[in-house]
Chains A and B, each alone.
Chain A
């Protein structure tokens, strides 16, 4: 271009408001690029939308979250439920906190954690949960320090929803004293598994509602007895499987109901953890001693009596005397997740194997454990595979002829290359089997700091928190809320006594198979493992 040519900035004529035709062309020459852009954009949108609609119509599921489970809380003080906690250890403390009563030192630590890392949401989640309109009126623990912490928590003034503080709970040295005191309407049982059945049976006899931690019982016989006690009573029972409240698990149920996967022949669930904490090498409290721990009471239900042992008291999951190791602790969650999604019930048979291959610290439960369950009437095998010495994320996968579904905190469904149902859509390139054809990611726009490896494991299973209407909520809180709602308004808990019995028997089949080194079967008529 030369100087004598027209310049858009210097109009050729003296009239500065005039822009020559050539000037306009130079001004607007790039605008058609927008036309090309939108032509391509709309074409891409239309193609993507058509593809999505075709897939969604074929699948018959909604993109949206599952229906929100109502959480009715009766607020009148007359409907306040008096709750006792039996076993205020790690799990018991968490349950009481999620019910709205955090220990004072937990609040202090949580405030420090937020100051260190603003992504830490534990305090916020606690403070924004619903006030469930309960009072903690009784605390029972055989370790003085924990019992005192529980009493302090019951009177905490930092409460969700600005709920005021309550008078401190009464401490009971034996749970039977609590059941007989008339001070509690309901109990949360957070003791070692060896106590669950006895406490549930006694609470049912006293007409006191029970929220019991998994595993439901330590043995098959206990499961039969506790099941009979609860079904013959009018109490409301809930087993502590928080996955029942996970949005992803509820969505997975919809996917199964819509038969998107086709015939499912294999379900693989896994536990991978790689920390001492994840293998139950828990802290030994500095104040733990024969003076502060009622050891005789602790081991009352244990089949083998041994001298006082801090390791056994604080790391009880490492011994079959008090629990069932991986079967009761983590297989129980995995199985209940599968039972929730597929409603499989008790399997016909089980073969389990494993060993103590890494944590050779005196424990007698395996740290590496595999169990294979058969459901011939469902044409289904359920495999559980676990190691406590590797942290690879293997997840929970449902394998059907037409598609696979992976469930973790989120959910994704991927078509099979050789699917019969999706064959045409794969040929038409509407479905790409190398990509998930459906993903569902509950949650809000933000990042939570879930710091420890064990927490990451639990979060991936929907066991720590889930989402309701985009808000992060503790899954424990929802499950306790559901239990209280059924106590007040009637209905059925999602992990009721039947689900609890199925969970216990399924876990005990694996334990029996492992200990007896043989295949075991379930006799549904005699209701016995044989």
Chain B
């Protein structure tokens, strides 16, 4: 039987991982909030420029005002929920996986592959790897090395409960 350490990290490791989690959480939360307060924001233009395998599917979404409204709402509230989860460490693993999924979708809409070009400008130069992909992999690292139960509300939510048969705590 192996013993699972409650905290497998050194202080430096934990600090670095939590810093990464906070920064990505901040980025997600602000991306959501900025979209929420901008009445002109819509995902339609981004989705419409879709290339690669899922072009048709994304173009259908962009063409439907109903779908666009749903995608916009999911984006805004999804980004904010993921961001908040990462910052305060609540349901951290779920938030991390959701973040990877969201970033994965952003990536496959417009991957910087050879031969694909986009009308929307990027702020840097990318070939296959872009910042969306890097952020997704950073979240993958956070999934592999979770910190929510060390630093975060998950520590309380998921704290160990006594096994059955053990004496119940005194009032």
Q: Which residues does A use to contact B, with CB under 8 Å?
A: 1, 3, 7-11, 14-19, 23, 26-31, 33-34, 37, 41, 45, 117-121, 441, 444-449
Contacts and interface: CB of A to CB of B under 8 A. Distances in A.
B156 interface: yes
Contact of A445 (B6, B65, B167): B65
Contact of A446 (B5, B26, B29, B64): B64
Given A34-B84, A444-B65, 9 more contacts: A9-B155, A23-B156, A28-B153, A29-B151, A30-B151, A31-B88, A34-B87, A118-B60, A447-B63
Interface residues of B, number: 49
Main secondary structure on A side of the interface with B: loop
B30 A8 contact: no
Given A33-B26, A447-B48, A26 B65 contact: no
Interface of B: 5-7, 9-11, 14, 18, 22, 25-26, 29-30, 33, 37, 40, 42, 44-45, 47-48, 59-60, 62-65, 68-69, 72, 84, 87-89, 149-153, 155-156, 158-162, 167, 169-170
Contacts of B6: 7-10
B154 to A, nearest CB: 8
10 contacts: A1-B7, A1-B14, A15-B170, A30-B152, A33-B26, A37-B26, A37-B29, A117-B63, A119-B48, A446-B44
A301 B68 CA distance: 52
Given A444-B65, A447-B63, A27 B155 contact: yes
B149 A449 contact: no
B119 to A, nearest CB: 12
Contacts, number: 111
B30 A26 contact: no
B169 A23 contact: no
Contacts of B159: 8-11, 16, 19
A143 B170 CA distance: 99
Contacts of A45: 37
A447 B44 CA distance: 6
Contacts of B14: 1
A26 B25 CA distance: 17
Contacts of A444: 65
A395 B145 CA distance: 54
Contacts of A26: 150-151, 155
Contacts of A23: 155-156
Contacts of B5: 3
B160 A10 contact: yes
